[in-house]
């Protein structure tokens, strides 16, 4: 099948903005042998290849990608390199103890800087800017949640330098938003253009001697081999790095809930709007809704803003049909204009989405079986930009049998419990989105929602 660049560019603002022509790398041409075969050219697969070759330049590493590197969630996301463990601290603590959770949280903070340093070292022009994370509460109910979040940080031992509450006045000094009750600020976050990072990383892997085959779909992933339509790759180690797409592989349909997150972006905004808005610090910004938004000021002075809420389809849960949704587009546009009145009337130029992988307990995993050589990582539950870099580093250590701080992290070997079979997973997903959305509407009118949120709690953790 011939390559259609338009179909790639329309997948996100970031893919659309890639400079020059997008030329896919040559597909696999017949059988091949190597030391490590990786399936999936998103952040997990690319960082794994990059770190393996960094540690051992003599390794023969091949990566197969069905479309082009960065086609999946890695080229479509909100570009938040946000610290924080994917999963619930208390769930992790039950398994690994509180100290391990603290070490893991710190590792995610360091991951933010590590990505920026590696991007700079590799000359990847991806707009990395470490402005921290600002979460704005625009109702009393949201403020309660945001205060509880900071209080939770205190209970885990993090100080004011890691997260703190801002008054409306302090918030205003960062960004002009309407109806601010309070906000929280954490320095542990950066914004990035994710497609440029993914594409730049693929180039870096090749510079280090890795071989990337795009337009090459894996049909089966087994110990010792990856079977594709273009040939079979035999390898001592095989890494599955397909996050939400994993559910399309044989026997994996209950591994994750593929949760769609959708985004919109404005046209580049004029300096008059930015003078009214502020946002000089390039913070990533969210709100305290259950279906919260996440936004960034892009390098070309747009606002890219995303949120959940797209319905999940029964039967074929990963499908391009779910990447756009009029209702979500309207909700995001309304949220954007309501929150930042200076932006009202700005043209929305892009709308896109993608699936992220949510495990049954919302806790990410990194696994390598030294006996079979099979490895995989994912289930970042929306924290994948930072977490996938940790996975890549960890998988490289595990494959090379290096005992490091990363191989002792709680997510290493964390078992994945399968989701309920359909239609229960479908019901769960509809309930999560439906109840969160209705709770937000009740809270926006000044009501309380604790009761209805209790209904979906069993699906949100454990
Ligand atoms: C709209 C959206 C917004 C998000 N926002 C953020 C955010 O701001 N911050 C954050 O931390 N996380 C965010 N996430 C989540 C984050 O993007 C993902 O968790 C992360 O990118 C996953 O990386 P990955 O490499 O594991 O998977 P992916 O990036 O999805 O890569 C998997 C790759 O595997 C390929 N593939 C699939 N099947 C096959 C096959 N059979 N053979 C060969 N190749 C195959 C796919 O084409 C794809 O390129 C967001 C996700 C979405 C969709």
Q: What is the residue extent of each domain of the chain?
A: 5-78+194-256+361-408, 133-186+257-358+436-460
> What residues pair up with 137 in beta bridges, in sequence order?
182
CA 8 – ligand 1 centroid, Å:
14
CA distance 391 to 371: 20
Ligand 1 pocket member 66 (CB < 6 A):
yes
How does strand 225-228 pair with strand 231-240? antiparallel
Ligand 1 pocket member 44 (CB < 6 A):
yes
CA distance 159 to 178: 28
Answer yes or no: are the C-beta atoms of 283 and 132 closer than 8 Å. yes
Omega of the bond leading into 414 within 30 degrees of 0 (cis): no
Ligand 1 pocket member 294 (CB < 6 A):
yes
pLDDT in the model for residue 222: 95
**Planar angle of CA 244, 111, 223, nearest 5 degrees:** 45
pLDDT in the model for residue 462: 44
Answer yes or no: are the C-beta atoms of 33 and 233 closer than 8 Å. yes
CA 388 – ligand 1 centroid, Å:
9
pLDDT in the model for residue 461: 60
CA distance 345 to 139: 24
pTM: 0.96
CATH of range 133-186+257-358+436-460; options 3.30.499.10, 3.40.50.10540, 3.40.50.300, 3.30.9.10: 3.30.9.10
CA 387 – ligand 1 centroid, Å:
11
Closest residue CA from atom 9 of ligand 1: 80
CA 300 distance to own-chain centroid: 22
CA 203 – ligand 1 centroid, Å:
18
CA 72 – ligand 1 centroid, Å:
4
Q: What are phi and psi of 442, to 5 degrees?
A: -65, -45
DSSP 3-state assignment of 449?
A: coil
Return the axis-axis angle of helices 384-399 and 43-55, rounded to nearest 10°: 40
> What residues pair up with 66 in beta bridges, in sequence order?
none
Closest residue CA from atom 52 of ligand 1: 77
Ligand 1 pocket member 278 (CB < 6 A):
no
Answer yes or no: are the C-beta atoms of 264 and 305 closer than 8 Å. yes
* List of the chain residues with pLDDT < 50: 462
CA distance 108 to 356: 19
DSSP 3-state assignment of 71?
A: coil
CATH superfamily of 5-78+194-256+361-408: FAD/NAD(P)-binding domain (3.50.50.60)
Ligand 1 pocket member 351 (CB < 6 A):
no
Answer yes or no: are the C-beta atoms of 376 and 77 closer than 8 Å. no
């Amino acid at each position: 099948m011939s390559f259609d660049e338009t179909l790639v560019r329309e997948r996100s603002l970031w893919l659309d903005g890639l400079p020059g022509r997008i030329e896919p790398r040559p597909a696999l041409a017949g059988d091949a042998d190597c030391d490590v075969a990786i399936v999936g050219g998103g952040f997990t697969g690319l960082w794994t290849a990059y770190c393996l070759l960094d540690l051992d330049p003599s390794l023969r590493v091949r990566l197969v990608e069905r479309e082009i590197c960065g086609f999946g969630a890695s080229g479509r996301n909100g570009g938040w390199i946000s610290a924080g463990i994917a999963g619930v601290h208390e769930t992790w603590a039950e398994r690994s103890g509180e100290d391990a959770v603290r070490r893991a949280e710190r590792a995610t903070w360091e991951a933010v800087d590590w990505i920026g340093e590696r991007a700079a070292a590799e000359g990847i022009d991806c707009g990395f800017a470490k402005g921290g994370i600002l979460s704005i509460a625009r109702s009393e109910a949201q403020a309660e949640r945001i205060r509880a979040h900071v209080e939770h940080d205190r209970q885990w031992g993090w100080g004011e330098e890691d997260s703190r509450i801002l008054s409306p006045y302090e918030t205003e000094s960062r960004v002009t938003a309407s109806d601010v009750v309070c906000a929280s600020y954490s320095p542990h976050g950066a914004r990035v253009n994710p497609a440029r990072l993914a594409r730049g990383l693929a180039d870096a892997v090749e510079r280090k001697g890795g071989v990337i085959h795009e337009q090459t779909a894996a049909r089966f992933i087994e110990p010792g081999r990856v079977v594709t339509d273009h040939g079979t790759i035999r390898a001592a180690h095989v890494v599955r790095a397909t996050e939400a797409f994993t559910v399309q592989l044989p026997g994996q349909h209950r591994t994750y809930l593929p949760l769609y997150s959708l985004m919109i972006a404005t046209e580049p905004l004029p300096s008059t709007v930015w003078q009214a808005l502020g946002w000089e610090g390039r913070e990533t910004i969210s709100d305290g809704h259950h279906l919260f938004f996440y936004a960034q000021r892009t390098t070309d002075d747009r606002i890219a803003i995303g949120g959940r809420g797209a319905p999940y389809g029964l039967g074929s849960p990963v499908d391009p049909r779910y990447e756009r949704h009029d209702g979500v587009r309207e909700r995001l546009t309304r949220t954007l204009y309501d929150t930042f009145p200076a932006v009202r009337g700005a043209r929305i130029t892009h709308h896109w989405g993608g699936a992220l992988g949510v495990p049954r307990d919302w806790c990410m995993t990194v696994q390598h079986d030294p006996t079979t050589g099979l490895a995989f990582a994912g289930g970042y539950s929306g924290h994948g930009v930072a977490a996938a870099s940790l996975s890549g580093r960890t998988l490289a250590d595990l494959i090379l049998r290096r005992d490091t701080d990363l191989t002792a992290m709680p997510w290493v070997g964390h078992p994945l419990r399968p989701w309920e079979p359909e239609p229960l997973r479908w019901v769960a997903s509809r309930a999560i989105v439906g109840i969160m959305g209705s709770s937000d509407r009740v809270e926006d009118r000044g009501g309380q929602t604790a009761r209805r949120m209790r209904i979906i709690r069993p699906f949100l953790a454990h």
